[in-house]
Chains A and B, each alone.
Chain A
Amino acid sequence: MATELPTTNGTSAQDGENTFAVKAGLARMLKGGVIMDVVNAEQARIAEEAGAVAVMALERVPADIRAQGGVARMSDPKMIKEIMDTVTIPVMAKARIGHFVECQILESLGVDYIDESEVLTPADAIHHVSKHPYRVPFVCGCRNLGEALRRISEGAAMIRTKGEAGTGDVVEAVRHTRTVASEISRAKGMSEPELRVYAKEIGAPFELLQETAKLGRLPVVNFAAGGVATPADAALMMQLGCDGVFVGSGIFKSGDAAKRARAIVQAVTHFNDPKVLVEVSMDLGEAMVGINTASELKEGERLAKRGW
């Protein structure tokens, strides 16, 4: 069972302020839900009808970005706007790592969350976006605890695993979730001086590491992402302690998108109920073909390596 996330992320707000608690609060409302990648309004409606808690609007799903190559950038705001006008659930959009002007544009457009994402081509080889000044909240990917805490210290109000997007292979998402969990359990047993050394070792701010060790989990909502393709994959990530699941290419690159989407939604709610999992796993048609990350993916093709 996942460790409980305490009920609030900060209490010091003045009236009217859109604070970290409000930004992290929306992520809490998405917990136990599925966020689906969509490339147009029609797919967004399918996702909404399937019970998605939010959609991620982007021009190409990761599997296509991978296949087509080239520079992947923020999507056309017009296309994002169409999706925002079509569905009533929150709409997220991706900006390139470090591309703070794409973030300004997305904020002004009024998206509900920005994903500063390794799936797009990084715009800055060194810096991530300073996310605190924005009214719009951010979600960022991580492979390990240090990376997660660096993103939170920059202002991310929600974390997801990087996994390996566009592969349909869940192994990297599992690796990243297990890595974060084992690093947190190491930190839990440490004295303050040991934690200071550990913070330096993993490149994490000491105060955030200390808070994480005390809570026994990340201090913000943490979703699985990158390679989830089946209801069983989604339930696996939930049983490993994730708060919810992003599904990218897994839905609209499969045979029967609407049915698979519904099945993954049910699997995330009832992740501990094998009877429901049997039922929803049946007769879903073809899953996305997938790329075996261990044998078919070259080091240079790994999206998870983008960012630090």
Chain B
Amino acid sequence: MTVSGADATTVGVLALQGAFSEHIQLLRLAAESLKTRNAHGSKWSFIEVRTPAELGRCDALILPGGESTAISLVAARSGLLEPLRDFVKVLRKPTWGTCAGLILLAEAANRTKKGGQDLIGGLDVRVNRNHFGRQTESFQANLALPFLGEPGGEQPFRCVFIRAPVVEKILPHQAGIQAEEASSDDTVVAPSKTPFDELAKEELNADVEVMAKISTRSPALRDNEDHDHPGTEDIIAVRQGNVFGTSFHPELTEDPRIHVWWLEEVVKAVLRRQQFELADRSI
């Protein structure tokens, strides 16, 4: 189990709906693995988040797979939507979204339900929902994920795609909302928020990095008739500063490597925050 205390880093998993238990289990595995790897080891506390008070305790957050429309409606009715936007875009704390979570973190999304859906935002990308088609087109593919280590030097990761979205376009960072995206009828955008200090602004304005792609010629996609578009690759993982999104479900494997990598990123982000605040005070 996790150790909680004053010096523990608290990582929340949004538990309104979906595969939140799976993320917590993999976070525990990842923390074990980190403990055996480095002697100092951070102390971690992993909690389920259903209320603004629980969110307030978190240093970092995961938005799990689930149904993004349901999660966003329940979040709004549970008084969590604005606190989530503040968490990701004002306080700019480390956040990771998988599948539905990636959709919620996108600044713009396509193919949403009639009347659109509320987004949290935080990643300057446009996602295309259910990109590969319906459940019968769901699949898994063993992919090399460059951010986990030297290309080819690491074992491929079993990526599970379930009615998955992809990042269709990387958008230029805007001072306000993604106005050009908003002008398209089929696209919804997230509201704009102002980061509360210089560091938050830096993390929010960082460039979007493409972390992983899948080739449209991948054997996993060869027989999919619904999946037809120009280009030879789909973007399936991105990062912008301390916010990360994957269109697949690392929480549906027994492989904690991505969770380990992400917790290490969280440690770095928390450290950046501490150093910034220290420097800030000394001025």
Q: Could you list which residues of chain A lie within 8 angstroms of chain B, going by C-beta atoms? A: 4-8, 11, 13, 15-19, 21-22, 25-26, 28-33, 45, 48-54, 84, 86-90, 107, 110-113, 135-137, 262, 265-266, 268-270, 273, 276
For the A-B complex, the count of residue pairs with Cβ-Cβ distances under 8 Å equals 159
Contact A25–B218 (Cβ < 8 Å): no
Contact A22 B139 (CB under 8 A): yes
- Asked if B253 CB lies within 8 Å of chain A CBs, one says yes
Q: Which residues of B contact A5 (CB under 8 A)?
A: 21-22
The segment from B108-116, B205-213, B234-242, B273-281 found at the interface with A is B108-116
The residue from B19, B65, B129, B218 contacting A15, defined by CB atoms under 8 A apart: B218
Number of interface residues of B (CB under 8 A): 53
CB–CB B139/A7 < 8 A:
no
Q: Is the CB of A269 within 8 A of B17?
A: yes
Q: Which residues of the other chain, A, contact B249 by a CB distance below 8 angstroms? A: 25
Contact B17 A33 (CB under 8 A): yes
**Candidates A52, A84, A136; contact of B70 at CB < 8 Å:** A52
A11→B251 CA distance, assembly (Å): 13
* B140 & A21 in contact (Cβ 8 Å cutoff): yes
Q: A16-B218, A113-B135 are in contact. Are A21 and B74 (CB under 8 A)?
A: no
When chains A and B are docked, how far (Å) is the Cα of A165 from the Cα of B217? 46
Interface residue B52 (Cβ < 8 Å from any Cβ of A): no
Report whether B67 and A89 are in contact in the complex, using a CB–CB cutoff of 8 Å: yes
Among the 9-residue stretches B37-45, B84-92, B155-163, B166-174, the one with 4 or more Cβ atoms under 8 Å from chain A is B155-163
Query: Given A15-B218, A17-B139, A88-B113, are A262 and B77 neighbors across the interface (CB < 8 Å)?
Result: yes
**How distant is the Cα of A31 from the Cα of B22 in the complex, in angstroms?**
11
The answer to whether A22 touches B78 (Cβ under 8 A) is no
Q: Which residues from 210 to 256 on chain B have a C-beta closer than 8 Å to any C-beta of chain A?
A: 218-223, 249, 251-254
CA distance A135 to B224 in the complex (A): 13
Specify which of B100, B135, B254 lies most central, judged by the most chain A CB atoms within 10 Å of its CB. Answer: B135
CB distance from B26 to the nearest CB of A (A): 6
Contact between A21 and B135, CB atoms less than 8 A apart: no
Given the known interface contacts A26-B163, A52-B70, the answer about A16 and B222 at a Cβ–Cβ threshold of 8 Å is yes
B141 close to A16 (CB less than 8 A): yes
Given contacts A29-B99, A265-B70, contact A8 B254 (CB under 8 A): yes
Closest CB-CB distance, A295 to chain B, in whole Å? 36
Q: Whole-angstrom distance from the CB of B65 to the nearest CB of chain A?
A: 5
Is B25 close to A, CB under 8 A? Answer: yes
Q: How far is the CB of A110 from chain B (nearest CB, A)?
A: 5
CA distance A4 to B17 in the complex (A): 15
B26 touches A18 (CB 8 A): no
Rank and list the top 8 A-B pairs by shortest CB-CB distance, nearest first: A16-B220, A112-B135, A51-B73, A32-B17, A53-B67, A7-B22, A16-B219, A51-B70
- Residues of chain A lying within 8 A (CB to CB) of residue B60: none
Q: Are B134 and A51 in contact (CB under 8 A)?
A: no
Tell me whether B15 is interfacial, beta carbon within 8 Å. Answer: yes
User: Residue A29 contacts which of B15, B100, B158 (CB distance < 8 angstroms)?
Assistant: B100
Report whether A266 and B74 are in contact in the complex, using a CB–CB cutoff of 8 Å. yes
Q: Is the pair B15, A32 in contact by a Cβ cutoff of 8 Å?
A: yes
| Residues of A contacting B114 in the complex (Cβ-Cβ under 8 angstroms) | 45, 86
Q: Is the beta-carbon distance between A136 and B135 smaller than 8 angstroms? A: yes
Contact A110 B134 (CB under 8 A): yes
Give Cα A89 to B140, complex, Å.
21
- The CA of A8 and the CA of B26, in the complex, are separated in Å by 11
Q: Contacts of A22 on B, CB cut-off 8 Å?
A: 138-140, 160, 162
Provide the bound-state CA to CA distance between A87 and B130, in Å: 12
Interface status of B187 (Cβ within 8 A of chain A): no
Closest to B220 in A: A16
5 A–B pairs (Cβ distance < 8 Å), ordered by A: A18-B136, A25-B249, A51-B70, A270-B50, A273-B50
Chain A residues near B254 (CB-CB < 8 A): 6-8, 11
